[in-house]
A and B are shown apart, each in its own frame.
Chain A
């Protein structure tokens, strides 16, 4: 099965190389990086690699970049699409685990969860916010999950075609759940590791952003 790895990247000049090197070492060849209008050297770095590099001429948000990459993958005959982060938070060797349920035809969507045993030292406040997100997802969409904001996912071609991600910014996580609900696709969660170091913590979402996000989710739920 042809597996594509889609990586949205925004100002990741420091980390993207290492991530791509690790993927390459593990034997992944179909890699799509969507540079979301970075103001640093991200795109120049990408041009010197053999990955597919797409560029948004202006910053449109992570959700938008993901969809661009997913669209490209579908156009080029992907069977499985994995979404991955550019900042080195996820482990390349876990891609196998996240794609497996699709390969054995168990389900259409696999969601990574840092709360199923593997994550290392999640900051307390982050934990609280993420768990609140879980509650909001359950209330809004009636879906039981353990991690509401994980960017490590896999989906089958069928799922990727059905799912319509319309949220441009970080609400895409919520978008995923509402689409799972709408399309009735079969999903499961698998444990994944999220590495928190100084870099990812500095880049990560602040809790004020998370509250803004929750508010947007509510608005989108009722304004459409």
Chain B
């Protein structure tokens, strides 16, 4: 019998993974990125269906409860992704400046 959390997780992951697959098909994300996201989402499915596994990990790394392992690693992952976004945004900002500069110099010539 599926629990509500399991059903929700399956629906959510099906949706999220299909998005990732579609983006990869359109070449909007690379194969590496696609694999990364598929790993994240299948990890989610795995722990929802085998919650005892997280307790096992918790014991190995020395964190109290299984759920804490999930929370800690999720926060770590989120921070990492935010950092990546920050770098990406900065890069975009610089590129915009380059375009604006080029236009201003071209107009003067």
Residues of A within 8 A of B100 (CB): 37, 56-58, 60, 64
A71 within 8 A of B: yes
Q: How far is the CB of B89 from chain A (nearest CB, A)?
A: 11
Q: Compute how far the CA of A219 lies from the CA of B97 in the bound complex, rounded to whole angstroms.
A: 20
Interface residue count for B (Cβ, 8 Å)? 15
Interface string of B82-103 (1 = CB under 8 A from A): 0100110010011011001101
Q: How far is the CB of A222 from chain B (nearest CB, A)?
A: 11
With A72-B108, A223-B87 as contacts: A168 and B103 at CB distance below 8 Å: no
A223 and B105 within 8 A (CB):
no
With A223-B86, A223-B87 as contacts: A60 and B105 at CB distance below 8 Å: no
Q: Compute how far the CA of A21 lies from the CA of B105 in the bound complex, rounded to whole angstroms.
A: 24
Residues of B within 8 A of A157 (CB): none
Q: Compute how far the CA of A117 lies from the CA of B24 in the bound complex, rounded to whole angstroms.
A: 62
Q: How far is the CB of A51 from chain B (nearest CB, A)?
A: 12
| The residue from B86, B87, B96, B101 contacting A71, defined by CB atoms under 8 A apart | B101
A55 and B94 within 8 A (CB):
no
Give the contacts of A125-143 with B (CB-CB under 8 A).
Answer: none
Residues of B within 8 A of A56 (CB): 100-101, 104
B94 and A67 within 8 A (CB):
no
A39 within 8 A of B: no
Please name 15 further chain A to chain B contacts, defined as beta carbons within 8 Å, in addition to the given A54-B105, A60-B97, sorted by A numbering.
Answer: A55-B107, A57-B103, A57-B104, A58-B96, A60-B101, A64-B100, A64-B101, A68-B104, A68-B105, A75-B105, A166-B94, A168-B97, A223-B86, A223-B87, A223-B90
**Chain B interface residues toward A at CB < 8 A:** 83, 86-87, 90, 93-94, 96-97, 100-101, 103-105, 107-108
